[in-house]
Structure 1
C-alpha cells in the first residue's frame, strides 16, 4: 500500500477513535458553523478526520482503499494527496456556503475528500466494475458515483444524521475539476463519463437554488 494512502487511513482511524471516546475532543474539532464563523477555520479540515461511528469510518476508508490506487497509479502520490486535501477543503467550503446562516449546523466525516478521490478514479477508469454487498450484480464505476451522490441529496433533505452530506458534492467538484485539469483530453476521450458524473452535481445546485434542500 502506498505510504501516503496508509498515512491518511491511519490518521482517520486515530482521530476518529479519539473522537469516539472523548466528546470534548469531538466537539472541539467537528465542523460547526457558529464556531467557524467565529474564527475557528481549522475545523474545516479537522472535521474531515472525525466520523460518526465505526460504520461511517469503515465505509469511507474502504471506499478510499479501493479507489485511491487508481488515482495513485495514474498521477502519483503527491497529486493523489493534493486531490484528497483539495476535495476536503472544497467540501467544507460548499458546506459553509450552503449552511452559512445555520449557526448550529454540525457535520463530520472524510466524505468530501473520499468523494473527490472516487470521482477522480471513475474519470480515470469509468468502466471499472464494482461488487457491492447489497447488490448481487456488478455495477460500473460511473453508476456507483451517481448513486453515491444521489444518496447524499437524500441525506441532505432528510437531515437525520450529522454526516457531512453537502461535503460529498464539494469533494466531487474538487476531484472532478482537478482530474480534468490534469488530463483535459478526458473531455473528448471520455465525454460520456464527464457529462454523466456532472449530472448529480447540477441537480444539487438546481435544487439548492429552488430551495428544495
Structure 2
C-alpha cells in the first residue's frame, strides 16, 4: 500500500519546493497564499498556489504524510491520472468553499495542502470504508468511515466556532470535492455501497442545512 507512485512523489516534491521557497522568501509567500483580498483583486491563481505553501515544517510533514498514506488507495482503484484529478479538484473546492464563507473578510488568508489531502482522504474512505485507522489518544483502530464522518462533523464545529488557526472550511470543501469526484469516477458505488455513500454524505447535508438556516456564515 505504501509503494509510492511517481505522481505522488511529484506532488510531495512540488509541495516541499514551494513551501521551502515560502519559508525563506516572504514576498513569494505573501503573493501566492490564499487571500480574499488578493483573489478579489483578480489573482485567481492563489486558489491553487496556496495549496502548495505551508506555514512550517510540521504543517508540511503532516499533510505529506497523510498524502503518502492514502494516495496509493486511490491510485490502486483509479490510476495516477484520476488520482491527480481528485487531488486538484479537492484543492480547488477547498479554496472555493473558503472563498464562499470568508468572502466578506478581505484580510482572511490561509495556506496548505489540507483541502487537497482531505479530499484524497475522504475519497479513499469512500472506496475502502472499512479500513482500520488509528488515531492519537484512542487505543484501538477504528473503521475509516467513522473517523471520516467524525472529522467532518468536527470541521463543522470548527467552522461555526472559528476554532483555532485552522482552515476548517478548506478541509470540508476538499472532502466534498473528493467525495463527489469519486462518485463521478465510480457511480456504481451508489448501488453497491448505498448506505456508506449516504453516511459519508451526512456531514455535507448537515453543513448545507446549517448554512441555509444561517447557523454558519
TM-score (norm 2): 0.91
1:98: which partner in 2?
101
2:207: which partner in 1?
204
CA RMSD of aligned residues (A): 1.6
- Once residues 164 and 39 of structure 2 are traced to their aligned partners in structure 1, the CA distance between those partners, rounded to angstroms, is 20
Is 1:19–2:22 an aligned residue pair?
yes
Secondary structure of the equivalent of 2:140?
strand
- Once residues 51 and 203 of structure 1 are traced to their aligned partners in structure 2, the CA distance between those partners, rounded to angstroms, is 30
Q: In the comparison of the two structures, how many residue pairs are matched? A: 213
State the 1:161 CA deviation.
Answer: 4.7
Is 1:116–2:119 an aligned residue pair?
yes
The runs of 5 or more residues in structure 1 that have no matched partner are none
Inter-CA distance 147–123: structure 2 relative to 1 (3 Å threshold): same
- Once residues 36 and 91 of structure 1 are traced to their aligned partners in structure 2, the CA distance between those partners, rounded to angstroms, is 14
- Once residues 27 and 9 of structure 1 are traced to their aligned partners in structure 2, the CA distance between those partners, rounded to angstroms, is 21
State the 1:82 CA deviation.
Answer: 0.5
Is 1:172–2:175 an aligned residue pair?
yes
- Once residues 23 and 135 of structure 2 are traced to their aligned partners in structure 1, the CA distance between those partners, rounded to angstroms, is 27
1:6-36 residue CA offsets vs partner (Å, 9 max, x unmatched): 1111111221222223222211111001110
Moved more, 21-30 or 43-52: 21-30
Moved more, 40-49 or 144-153: 144-153
State the 1:84 CA deviation.
Answer: 0.3
- Once residues 137 and 20 of structure 2 are traced to their aligned partners in structure 1, the CA distance between those partners, rounded to angstroms, is 27
- Once residues 158 and 24 of structure 2 are traced to their aligned partners in structure 1, the CA distance between those partners, rounded to angstroms, is 26
TM-score (norm 1): 0.93
The runs of 5 or more residues in structure 2 that have no matched partner are none
